[in-house]
Amino acid sequence: MADTHRVVIIGGGFGGLSAAKRLKHAPVDVTLIDRCNYHLFQPLLYQVATGALSPANIAAPLRNVLKNQRNTKVLLAEATRIDAEGRRVILSDGEIPYDTLIVATGSSHQYFGHDEWEKFAPGLKTVEDATDMRRRILLAFETAEREPDAAKCAAWMTFVVVGGGPTGVELAGTLGEIAHDTLKHDFRKINPSQARILLVEATDRVLPPFPPPLSEAARKMLTRLGVTVRTGAMVMNIEDGAVTIREGERTETIPTRTILWAAGVLASPLGRMLAQQAGATLDKVGRVVVEPDLTVPGHSEIFVVGDLANFSHQTGKPLPGVAPPAIQAGRYVAETIERRISGKQIAPFHYFDHGNLATIGRAAAVADLGWLRLCGFPAWVIWLFIHLLNIVEFQNRLLVLVQWAWLYFTRDRSARLITGKNPLPLDL
Amino acid sequence: MADTHRVVIIGGGFGGLSAAKRLKHAPVDVTLIDRCNYHLFQPLLYQVATGALSPANIAAPLRNVLKNQRNTKVLLAEATRIDAEGRRVILSDGEIPYDTLIVATGSSHQYFGHDEWEKFAPGLKTVEDATDMRRRILLAFETAEREPDAAKCAAWMTFVVVGGGPTGVELAGTLGEIAHDTLKHDFRKINPSQARILLVEATDRVLPPFPPPLSEAARKMLTRLGVTVRTGAMVMNIEDGAVTIREGERTETIPTRTILWAAGVLASPLGRMLAQQAGATLDKVGRVVVEPDLTVPGHSEIFVVGDLANFSHQTGKPLPGVAPPAIQAGRYVAETIERRISGKQIAPFHYFDHGNLATIGRAAAVADLGWLRLCGFPAWVIWLFIHLLNIVEFQNRLLVLVQWAWLYFTRDRSARLITGKNPLPLDL
């Protein structure tokens, strides 16, 4: 067994997990390394942040997913460095040698050089981010209910979402639903439906990757949900209790106690490691510029898949940082490894684009399938089925279905718990 | 409205919430104060700690439960003091006056004067306790998988549950199932079914409130699940990595990295407040000794219900600290308040004991219904239905049912996420 080909995969997201699964019958030893013990279905993370689903509903324990795959080990560990010369991954508590390495560590959010904004405007990438965001949103209403000062109360009732991409649109739309429907009868002093929800986007429209008519449809649906959409608005400053935006010449400071960040993306630090250790080139958000076969130039034994890769060979632009390209890339790399072992020829990676979906709220979504553009209810039904079918583990699919059906008919979100370190006394 | 009778309830557990709900049509203003924004179904908390259910499945947002009850306000706040003279509750950030006060703040765990044990042997009372316990249990197996030293690995594979009451029996039995069933195929180096699970109980049998034959049945079921039951064993010391127990003359130190505390109960600190401010008498675990009508002696306007009350008028012994007496007491107090307002006579509180249930594992439970004693599968079915029917909110009932059915047929627990502060590197 000593000379079995060793494949090490860093990251159990869509890219890493699909590569691991596709290697099930390959004559290799697979080690999947992740900091978390679960695969997270990130497209639905905003539903955890807004109290519709529980974290476990969108997370599948990696060991469970791979338990019947005898050539595969799961390692709960953090990869801190890649020694490309010595062909080993350095962990925070050990090291692990590889013959082939797949790096699939994705991305996190960035604040365009203003890291000090993070504590006032948290982003949404992990389960902990989601429960923290849920806590902030629910505590804002709780604090407003008890705040006697009208101006302070208004700041607690103002929610600013920064970034008009899919995550920002989903968060803002859902906040609109929470304020207008979910919490309608919950309070005695405040009226949650008077909450002010702002979506701030720097470009001239929301959902920039979509065709302009669908962006316009999304804007209308957001407005109907009570969201004020501010396009062409740059965030100039974020501080405790306020956000300052500039629209053209006009600068405005908005008092708010809840700012949610859905704007900048920064590739994982392992990209920089590949630049230092393997001579990889990074683009301006830190993604690794890969060859047509997804390898690092000069290192045919190192593959990069998912958000961390900049693959521009097909369209001249990097593939979007969403699940389908990551899944397809993971499978392609697994097949490439198998073909190499059996000495077969390998074609370059080709991404098959099935289209683009974004949801805004209840029965409201946009779908760009290339040959067909939809918005409203039909797009939402497509969104629903695609997400439901892609959730890993049958039990979670069932639980999500039950909760969505409940949410649809009652508009109630039962997972709205304030958890975490004791939040009392409220910061009035 | 200024002279409407003001009822303040501290605590949204079984006692406080049932009082609030029963006051729905009473001509009073109700304020329910809780530190959490949800009512927690504590009897199933151990299922969150062991990855079978998500926190939201056993929690119901208090505002949601009471949203259609227009005479009732919910206040997310912490009561720090009771000013019995001035008839007001002092909060960490304000105060609130009352005409009638219901104190229902329950209990937490105690370490019999050894508070230093807490960090090594956490207890189980809150959602945060449960997710922390889940993290410890899952990380123990993860760390064992990576630990090269055999003795250290054995300590990670040893789980000690202190206390053979219902919670301890449930935790130990479930740990047995996790080791033997859930994680069976998950690891490559360790064999989870070789985990050592000890249940340590100071008295001569587990489940002391049950008749001896049922205790014996529970012991057998635990043994079948791979749990070593040590009765007549006193915990002498708990330190980092070991627990010392004494059985008769023999003292033994057991190396273990996971100790779960299910032993001592200590009444909420508001009991001491009532002693200081209202002259109440406390028993040795800090419970308030109440009158036959559940009031504090000398203060007919202050009621104590649930775990915090010592009501011994009926049987000579305090009522057990479980849900049914708390629920019945809450309803009794609400009715008493209504009857007082309309000048009607009031009978003393009478607890109707429906029996005692404890579950040990899959298809294993004991039931003492007074007129009928059951163990094994029939007791488990009763346990199942009673718990399912008593969960607050219909959606949660449905979600719990789906997850229990899944667990029964597949023995898989999908909510086994390691969350919380980043646990890496593992403490090898």
Q: Do the Cβ atoms of B56 and A396 come within 8 Å?
A: no
Lowest mean pLDDT among A9-18, A381-390, A417-426: A417-426
* Active-site residue, selected from the candidate residues B170, B177, B201, B338: B170
pLDDT over 90 at A54, yes or no: yes
Q: At what angle do helices B14-22 and B323-341 cross, to 10 degrees?
A: 30
Q: What is the mean pLDDT of residues B18-46?
A: 96
Query: For chain A, how big is the Rg over CA atoms in Å?
Result: 22
Please give the full DSSP string across A204-233, using - where no structure is assigned.
SSSSTTS-HHHHHHHHHHHHHTTEEEETTE
Determine the distance in angstroms separating the CA of B303 from the nearest CA of chain A, rounded to an integer.
25
With beta carbons less than 8 A apart as the criterion, state whether A125 and A42 touch: yes
With beta carbons less than 8 A apart as the criterion, state whether B203 and B162 touch: no
Q: Which residues of A touch B80 (CB under 8 A)?
A: none
pLDDT higher for A7 or A390?
A7
Minimum Cα–Cα distance from A126: chain B residue: B419
The reported pLDDT for the residue numbered B423 is 59
Q: Which residues of B touch A187 (CB under 8 A)?
A: 63
What sign does the CA torsion over A196, A197, A201, A205 have? Answer: negative
Confidence band of A92 (pLDDT split at 50, 70, 90):
confident
What tokens appear for B156 in the block? 């990670």
What tokens appear for B104 in the block? 């229902």
pLDDT digits (tens, 9 = 90+) for B215-241: 999 999 999 999 999 999 999 999 999
Q: What is the mean pLDDT of residues A31-43?
A: 96
The reported pLDDT for the residue numbered B15 is 97
The reported pLDDT for the residue numbered A427 is 60
- Of the candidates B423, B321, B426, B417, the residue with the CA atom closest to the CA atom of residue B54: B417
Q: Which residues of A touch B426 (CB under 8 A)?
A: 76-77, 93
| Distance separating alpha carbons of residues A60 and A393, to the nearest angstrom | 7
- Of the candidates B268, B259, B11, B267, the residue with the CA atom closest to the CA atom of residue B132: B259
Q: Do the Cβ atoms of B418 and A36 come within 8 Å?
A: yes
pLDDT digits (tens, 9 = 90+) for B58-111: 999 999 999 999 999 999 999 999 999 999 999 988 999 999 999 999 999 899
Minimum Cα–Cα distance from A38: chain B residue: B417
- Phi, psi for B118 (deg, rounded to 5): -55, -40
Q: What is the mean pLDDT of residues B340-365?
A: 93
Q: Do the Cβ atoms of A406 and B419 come within 8 Å?
A: no
Average of per-residue pLDDT values in chain B? 93
Q: What is the mean pLDDT of residues A306-325?
A: 94
* CB pairs A-B closer than 8 Å: 156
Q: Do the Cβ atoms of B399 and A399 come within 8 Å?
A: yes
Determine the distance in angstroms separating the CA of B201 from the nearest CA of chain A, rounded to an integer.
32
pLDDT digits (tens, 9 = 90+) for B375-401: 999 999 999 999 998 887 888 888 888
| Distance separating alpha carbons of residues B260 and B123, to the nearest angstrom | 6
- Phi, psi for B188 (deg, rounded to 5): -110, -30
With beta carbons less than 8 A apart as the criterion, state whether A281 and A305 touch: no
Q: How far is CA A65 from CA A62, A77, A385, A405, B368, in A?
A: 5, 18, 21, 26, 41
Residue type, B142: E
Catalogue the active-site residues of A: 170
Q: Do the Cβ atoms of B403 and A395 come within 8 Å?
A: yes
- Phi, psi for B211 (deg, rounded to 5): -65, 145
pLDDT over 90 at A366, yes or no: yes
Confidence band of B418 (pLDDT split at 50, 70, 90):
confident
Residue type, A27: P
Sheet holding A72-76, edge to edge: A72-76, A28-34, A5-10, A100-103, A299-304, A295-296
The reported pLDDT for the residue numbered A2 is 54
With beta carbons less than 8 A apart as the criterion, state whether B156 and B140 touch: yes
Selecting from A64, A131, A412 the residue whose C-beta is nearest the C-beta of B186 gives A64
Residue type, B82: I
pLDDT digits (tens, 9 = 90+) for A125-164: 999 999 999 999 999 999 999 999 999 999 999 999 999 9
Active site residue B170: yes
Q: What is the DSSP letter of B36?
A: S
Predicted complex ipTM? 0.90
The reported pLDDT for the residue numbered B187 is 95
Q: Which residues of B touch A77 (CB under 8 A)?
A: 146, 424-426
Judging by DSSP bridges, how do beta strands A158-162 and A196-200 pair with one another?
parallel
What tokens appear for A69 in the block? 């795959």
Per the DSSP assignment, residues forming a β-bridge with B365 are: B359
Lowest mean pLDDT among A67-76, A236-245, A416-425, B135-144: A416-425
What sign does the CA torsion over A87, A90, A91, A94 have? Answer: positive
pLDDT digits (tens, 9 = 90+) for A367-421: 999 899 999 999 999 999 999 988 878 888 888 888 888 888 888 887 888 888 6
Q: What is the DSSP letter of B171?
A: H
Q: What is the pTM of this model?
A: 0.93
Q: What is the DSSP letter of B282?
A: B
Q: What is the mean pLDDT of residues A65-69?
A: 94
Determine the distance in angstroms separating the CA of A91 from the nearest CA of chain B, rounded to an integer.
8
| Distance separating alpha carbons of residues B204 and B199, to the nearest angstrom | 12
